[in-house]
Amino acid sequence: MFDIEGYYEAKSVEDAVRLLAEHEDAQIISGGTDVLVKLRDGKDAGGSLVSIHEIRELHGVRLQEDGTLEIGPATCFTDLTNDPLIRRYVPYLGEAVDTVGGPQVRNQGTIGGNVCNGATSADSAATLQTLNAVVVLQGTDGIRRVSVTEFYTGPGRTVRRHDEVCRAIEIRPEDYAGFTGCYMKYGKRAAMEIATLGCCVRVKLDQEGRTIKEARIGYGVAAPTPIRCPVTEAALAGCSVEDDRIYEMIDSGVLGEVRPRSSWRASKEFRMQLISEMARRALKEAIRRSLNGEAPGVAAQDGKGGDQAC
Amino acid sequence: MLNIVHMWVNGNEVELAHDPRESLLETLRDRLNLTSVKKGCGVGECGACTVLIDGVAVDTCLYLTMWAEGKHILTTEGLKGPNGELNPIQQAFIDEAAVQCGFCTPGLIMTAVELAGTGKKYTRDELRKLIAGHLCRCTGYENILNAMEKICGAGS
């Protein structure tokens, strides 16, 4: 039995917003794989829950007219990994969330919870940073859109207000078209492990596949919040993929842009080593995937996910 | 305050009063006496409480009974044939000596039922990943994988 005072099942997003506004002690529960673990631990005990578990409109991935991918926040990790749109346009996001917990947790835990719990160790965090993903929040005052790069305010803290519900996570075509990517996770075990470090590197090459047009580097657990490395990203733009110095650039460059801490999971020194090595390996893999022709175009709304030239 | 949940458990329609603070694990064990559903870690790491909800393996320790409204729940008790026969997956676990203390067994069998239900065939490495949500401290997993390979392995 969980130590909660009240339980409210929201029928719609509007309903959830109203319930949250009415109950100051309430928190949102979606998949429950974080909230119930914390409750069991005695954290937030005696509070209330507003459940968005049964709101169907928050499930699934949709394609908007302009090619934007709209991810329902209550989509569980397993469904995200297997979703045809995700597999085609942002497969590395599906790979990233496939490293969360174990299969049963991935059948319940949601992408919205992974973002809104504010954890720097969230497995989707590094990848969503590199995608400039937009969190769509609906509250009493209406809807607003916040980039994930401006979403986090500290460990476990975000700009989401008490009465706001995440109603979508959007990925715009300019942030996925032409890019490949690779997410790497380091943990002491291969499964059922919280990331000691997570790193996502994405690249967009020129048409000949010789030069990096754009690089994006995102990390989880390299700072109190998920971060990007804009200075190193800018330095890599214009570099030849055949020049091995790009790997030295990335592994020394990122060290100046991260702020890892020592924790019981790993020391700061070890994390610094991981930060360099994982960036180097993820860059190599992202380039390999690009050269292998895996970069997608813009998703066109023809029901078949056909590409347009990008 | 009690809530009434309507659900199908092992093929039977059930209408049941429960506390809204209850996990499905507690409801299945304590109200329906389905003791194949084991209480282990309580935090979604050991998989001993795994059941299928609408065909999908879920840790019931992290699932509120409130959410079971209208859903189909399958536990190991529901695998029994009309004359008490074992399910082929249960038989494979016996044949391969995949059971020692037995605590993890019902959960692992439910994951095997889920995988068998997909109709796909899995490599040993894929099976390793797919049972990562279960902890077994006795067998070392090899015999469990042998049993699962018999049912849904690439060579089966």
Residue A308, domain member (yes or no): no
Question: Count of domains in chain A?
Answer: 3
Span B53-65, mean pLDDT? Answer: 98
Q: Cβ A7–B21 below 8 Å, yes or no? A: yes
The answer for residues whose C-beta is within 8 angstroms of residue A130's C-beta and 6 or more apart is: A181, A200, A201, A202, A216, A217, A218, A228
Span A217-235, mean pLDDT? Answer: 98
Span B123-133, mean pLDDT? Answer: 97
Question: Count of domains in chain B?
Answer: 2
CATH code of the domain covering residue A116: 3.30.465.10
Span B64-76, mean pLDDT? Answer: 98
Which secondary-structure segment (H or E) carries A152? Answer: strand A152-154
**Is A47 in the same domain as A119?**
no
What is the pLDDT at residue A216? 98
Q: What predicted TM-score, i.e. pTM, was given to this entire model?
A: 0.96
Domain membership of residue A256 as a residue range:
176-291
For A10-45, how does the pLDDT look when each residue is reduced to its tens digit (9 = 90+)?
999 999 999 999 999 999 999 999 999 999 999 989
Out of A1, A101, A192, the one facing B22 most closely (by C-beta) is A1
Span B67-77, mean pLDDT? Answer: 98
Smallest CA–CA distance from B52 into chain A, residue: A104
**Is B67 in the same domain as B11?**
yes
B41 touches chain A (CB under 8 A): no
d(CA A255, CA A239): 19
- State the pLDDT confidence band at B156, using cuts at 50, 70 and 90: confident
Smallest CA–CA distance from B135 into chain A, residue: A192
Residue A151, domain member (yes or no): yes
Q: Cβ A107–B57 below 8 Å, yes or no? A: yes
Residue B58, domain member (yes or no): yes
Residue A309, domain member (yes or no): no
Out of A1, A2, A53, the one facing B67 most closely (by C-beta) is A53
Out of B21, B56, B130, the one facing A2 most closely (by C-beta) is B21
What is the pLDDT at residue B1? 76
Last residue of a domain, one of B57, B78, B99: B78
For A150-200, how does the pLDDT look when each residue is reduced to its tens digit (9 = 90+)?
999 999 999 999 999 999 999 999 999 999 999 999 999 989 999 999 999
Domain membership of residue B22 as a residue range:
3-78
Q: Cβ B67–A33 below 8 Å, yes or no? A: no
Q: How far is CA B24 from the centre of its chain?
A: 13
Q: How far is CA A260 from the centre of its chain?
A: 19
Residue A77, domain member (yes or no): yes
**Is A167 in the same domain as A181?**
no
Last residue of a domain, one of A148, A174, A200: A174
Token pair for A206 = 């020129």
Last residue of a domain, one of B78, B111, B139: B78
Residue B83, domain member (yes or no): no
Residue A43's CB is within 10 A of a number of other CB atoms, namely: 11
**Is B71 in the same domain as B117?**
no
Q: DSSP class of residue B96?
A: T
**Is B10 in the same domain as B67?**
yes
**Is B23 in the same domain as B69?**
yes
**Is B99 in the same domain as B70?**
no
- State the pLDDT confidence band at A52, using cuts at 50, 70 and 90: very high
**Is A163 in the same domain as A187?**
no
**Is A145 in the same domain as A115?**
yes
- Is B155 or A263 the better-scoring residue by pLDDT? A263
For A93-114, how does the pLDDT look when each residue is reduced to its tens digit (9 = 90+)?
999 999 999 999 999 999 999 9
B142 touches chain A (CB under 8 A): no
